[in-house]
Homo-oligomer: A and B are copies of this chain.
Amino acid sequence: MIESESPRLSAIFHALGDPTRRDMIRDLAKGERSVGDLAAPHDISLAAASKHVKALESAGLIRREIRWRTHVCHLNAEALAAAHDWLDSYRRFWTDRLDNLEDLLRQEKKAQHPKGDAK
């Protein structure tokens, strides 16, 4: 539907492409976390974690609330939903078609290449 979402989707999927960042999202699904909290399990420097958080934030996947001297992060439903919706537009490929896929392909193959001639 919306096609100008492209740069946004790129940022979202790119952010999702890193396992460390997916871990952070998993943690954030359990509740709010500070940048330090998010960094802790990942054996990387705080600065590196800060970059990951920044990537998640600029993709819109999380939001940050500066409380005190700690930056408290939480998930943002909107961006998560945007990625989900994009994938959902291809849903028919695993609902309507999944079971028939092989048969369909076999039929199409036959239709386009009727010759049974060998090599």
Contact = CB atoms under 8 A, between A and B. Distances in A.
Contacts of A65: 105, 109
Interface string A20-39: 00100100010010000000
A81 B67 contact: no
B105 A77 contact: no
- Size class of the contact patch on chain A: 35 or more
Contacts of A7: 19
A9 B29 contact: no
Interface of A: 6-7, 9-10, 13-14, 16-19, 22, 25, 29, 32, 65, 67, 74-75, 77-78, 80-81, 83-84, 86-88, 90-91, 93-94, 97-98, 101, 105, 108-109, 112-113
19 contacts: A9-B16, A10-B18, A10-B19, A10-B22, A25-B90, A29-B90, A65-B105, A65-B109, A67-B112, A74-B105, A75-B90, A75-B93, A77-B94, A77-B97, A77-B98, A80-B94, A81-B94, A84-B88, A87-B87
